């Protein structure tokens, strides 16, 4: 393998080829510390041509490549296996914004741009880049596209796929496909862009993208409301969708148990609503008109919700810092779970019409079969997306609990998901975590089609092998 490393140094400066253990270590373990692998080297290319040359060398030497962005993914997709024969290709040096096209309302940027930096850059020019998620300070656009990330603005603006107009991709042969076009209509055969989005580095390496921008809202109002049941929360969502239509930009749900966990680890994050409601809903309205218009609309809808018994309490954020505090409360649940220790995560979507039934039935089954477990259920309710996570009973060693119960708990949740015609991965992808469950979930025909695509685009199986599908 020394020969291969020597060859790499013909296409990449040696300082960007990390082979020492201490240099490679930060790239080998995922954010949740669930997966750790080994790598022959970590490579830090600076442009698409370097990526293409690296891929050609890897293809010639049959060395597998694990593309990596911010390494914040939840499914182990960016973590190498244990063979020590794979290389990690981290795109963080490719962080240039190539262009903001105001007339076309698009931004063209490299894959290694940090999401938050993109939002900030767009805002300076008066635009909103709506993709927003808890990891935005470290995740990268390439990773967002490769996982088709969702987050808190999907309800109004869609997920990463919906925001993307064009891509630049290095293929498994080391060719550069230039699809960097900012077109909102382009019906010229198969949609290659959509094929690469959400493929988690298994079909190609995304090196640049053209993304949509939107006008920056001038006013935003955020409120927390208390609901006694999930059915009332969904009825409330429907009420807001009807009355506020496109002004509704956020609708997040947090159960009492998830907020209690938050308060345990972040005591400053207390729920301002009275009496620990079973369901706390965070709602955001955004407008390009006057402050008063959206504030009045929000108050009118909340009054109607009170009168019809959908909500029992509400607090409207009186300033930006209070609105941010509401959002932090929602975003810190993931961090509180990480502080609490290992837990079993389920990132699922259920049609809204079945969600009430799903939660009631699954909660009851879970509490009967696994007494004492804590159900940390929260998520992007507006998208039907729940993070239905299970923490071990208090006083139980999480490692031992999970070893015994991981399989049956996943089986219980996923059987319920199938019964409700939902999905076992709403926004986090498949990676290595859900590789085994995918076949049963997708069905034989879809799974075979996915394998056919993988074989066609990566016949040597060098791009992130054994992630998403195994061929
Ligand atoms: C606190 C926290 C909150 C989160 N909240 C959300 C949320 O609300 N919604 C959501 O969707 N996710 C969320 N996530 C998960 C994660 O942030 C997203 O999946 C994110 O899109 C991953 O980006 P990344 O740059 O970290 O990718 P990585 O983790 O580095 O990689 C993810 C996958 O994409 C592949 N990949 C990375 N870059 C490229 C590239 N340039 N070309 C091809 N393949 C590539 C990798 O091989 C891997 O399979 C959260 C994570 C954390 C830690």
Query: What residue's CA is closest to ligand 1, atom 11?
Result: 149
Q: Which atom of ligand 1 is nearest to the CA of 169?
A: 42
Nearest-atom number in ligand 1 for the CA of 468 is: 49
The pLDDT of 133-143, averaged and rounded, is 97
Distance of alpha carbon 18 from alpha carbon 70, whole angstroms: 17
Is 97-215's fold the same as 219-340's? Answer: no
Please tell me the distance between residue 68's alpha carbon and the centre of ligand 1 in angstroms. Answer: 9
Is 27 within 8 Å of 73 (Cβ atoms)? no
pLDDT at residue 1 tops 80: no
Given ligand 1 and candidates 30, 66, 69, which is best to mutate, with the most ligand atoms within 8 Å of its CB?
69
> Could you tell me the residue ranges of all domains in the chain?
97-215, 219-340, 347-419
Q: Which residue has the tokens 């990526």?
A: 51
* pLDDT reported for residue 309: 97
Give the residue whose CA is nearest to atom 44 of ligand 1: 201
pLDDT number for residue 342? 86
Q: Compute, in angstroms, the gap from residue 464 CA to the centroid of ligand 1.
A: 14
User: Strands, E, within 9-163: which ranges?
Assistant: 17-18, 41-43, 65-68, 87-90, 97-101, 106-110, 127-128
Average pLDDT over residues 267-286: 95
Q: Whose CA is nearest to atom 19 of ligand 1?
A: 73
Look at domain 219-340 and name its CATH class.
Answer: alpha beta
Architecture of domain 347-419: 2-Layer Sandwich (3.30)
* CA of 375 relative to ligand 1 center, distance in Å: 24
Per-residue pLDDT at 172:
98
Of the chain, the percentage scoring pLDDT greater than 90 comes to: 97
pLDDT for position 116 = 98
Ligand 1 atom 3 nearest Cα? 134
> Given this model, what pLDDT does residue 291 score?
76
CATH topology of domain 97-215: 3.30.465
Question: From ligand 1's centre to the CA of 72, what distance in Å?
Answer: 5
Compute, in degrees rounded to 10, the torsion defined by CA atoms 414, 418, 420, 426: 70
Q: Could you tell me the distance, in angstroms and rounded to a whole number, from the CA of residue 71 to the centre of ligand 1? A: 6
| Residue having the nearest C-alpha atom to atom 28 of ligand 1 | 71
Please compute the mean of the pLDDT values over residues 65-83 and round it to a whole number.
Answer: 98
> Per-residue pLDDT averaged across 408-421, rounded?
97
Q: Are 380 and 428 in contact (CB under 8 A)?
A: no
Cα separations (Å) of 108 from 118, 198, 259? 10, 19, 39
Q: Identify which of 421, 311, 411, 442 has the alpha carbon closest to the alpha carbon of residue 358.
A: 421
- Asked whether residue 290 carries a pLDDT value surpassing 80, the answer given is no
Pocket perturbation via mutation, ligand 1, pick of 39, 72, 193, 252 by most ligand atoms within 8 A of CB: 72
pLDDT of residue 270: 92
Q: Is pLDDT above 90 for 466?
A: yes
pLDDT at 24: 98
* Tokens standing for residue 224: 């927390």
| DSSP per position, 173-203 | TSPEEEE----S---SSS-HHHHHTTSTTSS
Q: What is the pLDDT of residue 187?
A: 96
CA of 257 to the centre of ligand 1 (A): 26
Q: What is the pLDDT of residues 429-448, one digit of tens each?
A: 999 999 998 999 999 999 99
How far apart are the CA of 73 and the centre of ligand 1, in A?
4
Element (H or E) spanning 3, and its range? helix 2-8
pLDDT(212) > 90: yes
Query: How many A from CA of 26 to the centre of ligand 1?
Result: 16
**Which pLDDT band, with edges at 50, 70 and 90, does 288 fall under?**
confident
Q: What is the pLDDT of residues 308-352, one digit of tens each?
A: 999 999 999 999 999 999 999 999 999 999 999 989 999 999 999
């Amino acid at each position: 393998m020394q020969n291969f490393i020597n060859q790499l140094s013909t296409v990449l400066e040696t300082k960007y080829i990390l082979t020492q253990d201490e240099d490679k270590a930060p790239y080998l373990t995922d954010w949740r510390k669930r997966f750790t692998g080994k790598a022959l080297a970590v490579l830090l290319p600076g442009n698409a041509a370097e990526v293409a040359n690296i891929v050609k060398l890897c293809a010639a030497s049959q060395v597998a490549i694990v593309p990596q962005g911010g390494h914040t993914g939840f499914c182990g997709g960016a973590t190498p296996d244990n063979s020590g024969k794979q290389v990690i290709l981290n795109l963080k040096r490719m962080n240039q914004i190539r262009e903001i096209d105001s007339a076309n309302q698009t931004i063209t940027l490299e894959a290694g741009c940090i999401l938050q930096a993109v939002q900030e850059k767009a805002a300076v020019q008066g635009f909103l880049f709506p993709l927003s998620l808890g990891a935005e300070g470290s995740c990268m656009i390439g990773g967002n596209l490769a996982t088709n990330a969702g987050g808190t603005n999907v309800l109004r603006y869609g997920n990463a796929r919906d925001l993307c107009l064009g891509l630049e991709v290095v293929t498994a042969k080391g060719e550069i496909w230039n699809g960097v076009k900012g077109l909102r209509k382009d019906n010229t055969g198969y949609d290659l862009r959509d094929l690469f989005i959400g493929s988690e580095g298994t079909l190609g390496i995304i090196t640049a993208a053209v993304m949509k921008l939107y006008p920056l809202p001038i006013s935003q109002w955020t409120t927390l409301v208390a609901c006694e049941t999930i059915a009332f929360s969904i009825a409330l969502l429907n009420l807001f969708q009807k009355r506020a239509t496109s002004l509704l930009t956020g609708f997040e749900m947090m159960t009492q148990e998830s907020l209690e966990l938050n308060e345990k680890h972040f005591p400053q994050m207390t729920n301002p609503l009275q009496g620990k409601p079973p369901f706390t809903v965070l709602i955001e309205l955004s407008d390009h008109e006057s402050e008063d218009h959206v504030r009045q609309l929000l108050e009118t809808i909340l009054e109607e919700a009170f009168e019809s018994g959908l909500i029992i309490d509400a607090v409207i954020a009186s300033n930006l810092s209070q609105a941010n505090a509401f959002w932090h409360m929602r975003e810190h649940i993931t961090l509180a779970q990480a502080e609490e220790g290992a837990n079993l995560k389920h990132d699922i979507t259920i049609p809204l019409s079945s969600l009430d039934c799903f939660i009631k039935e699954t909660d009851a089954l879970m509490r009967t079969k696994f007494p004492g477990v804590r159900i940390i259920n929260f998520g992007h309710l507006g998208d039907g997306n729940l993070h239905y996570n299970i923490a071990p009973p208090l006083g139980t060693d999480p490692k031992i609990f999970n070893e015994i119960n991981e399989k049956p708990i996943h089986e219980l949740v996923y059987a319920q998901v199938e019964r409700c015609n939902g999905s076992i991965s709403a926004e986090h992808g498949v990676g290595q975590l859900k590789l085994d469950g995918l076949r049963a979930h997708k069905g034989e025909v879809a799974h075979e089609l996915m394998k056919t695509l993988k074989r066609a685009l990566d016949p040597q199986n060098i791009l992130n092998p054994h992630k998403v599908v195994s061929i």
